[in-house]
Amino acid sequence: MPRTRRRWRWALPAALAPVIALGGVASAATETTAAAGHDKVVYHHHRPGVGSPCEGLAGCTFVQLTGDPKTGPSEAMFTLKAGTRFAPHWHTSPEHVVGVSGTVLWNVEGHKRYRVGAGDFLDYPGKAVHWGQCAPGADCVYYVYDELPYDFHPAK
C-alpha cells in the first residue's frame, strides 16, 4: 500500500504574524486585506498603564484589537503586573497566545507548566482549564486570539 504524505497548513490570525516577525517587540503593526475578510489597518503601540481593566482581576489590563468578543472572533493584547496570578478558568473558544514581553508561567490542566515569553506561542483547545502567573521582576504583555465569542468560566 503506497504511503501518502499529509500536508499541514495553518493560517495565522491577521495580527499574529507581525508579532512573531517582530520577535516579541512590545508593539505590533498589522495590515490586513479584504481577501482575509478585513478592510482596515490595525495598529497597536503598547504603552504601560493604558487599557481597560480585566473584569475580576486586579493587576490586569487589556486593549481590544479587532473583532467583538461578545459576538465572534476577537484579538486582544493583555498586560499583567509582575507577580499577578490568574485563577483556574476556561473559555469555550480555543485560545492562541503569543508572548510579547515578560514571562507568564502558564498552566494547562493535564499538561506541563509553560514559560510564555517574548515570541513564544501557546495554543490550547476550548474548555481547557488554565491558570498562571506573571513571573516576578517584569510586567507581562501577551496577545490572545479567540476563535469564538469570549466567555469566562471559573474552574471548580
Which tens digits make up the pLDDT trace of 131-141?
999 999 999 99
- Amino acid, res. 37: G
Asked if residue 78 lies in contact with residue 134, where contact means CB atoms within 8 angstroms, the answer is no
Distance CA 50, CA 67 (A): 19
What's the whole-model pTM score?
Answer: 0.74
Q: Residue 16's CB: how many other CB atoms inside 10 A?
A: 19
CA angle 125, 98, 42 (to 5 degrees): 110
pLDDT number for residue 37 = 54
Per-residue pLDDT of 11-69, as tens digits, reads 444 444 444 333 333 333 333 333 345 678 887 777 777 899 998 899 999 999 999 99
Quote the pLDDT of residue 115: 98
pLDDT-above-70 percentage for the chain: 76
Q: Which amino acid is at 86?
A: F
Reported residue count of the chain is 156
Under 8 Å between Cβ of 103 and 75: no
CA dist., res. 86 & res. 45, Å (int): 25
Are 82 and 136 contacting, i.e. CB atoms less than 8 angstroms apart?
Answer: yes
- C-alpha cell recorded at residue 67: 473583532
- Strand order of the sheet with strand 121-124? 52-53, 60-67, 74-80, 140-146, 95-101, 121-124
Distance between terminal CA atoms of the chain? Answer: 49
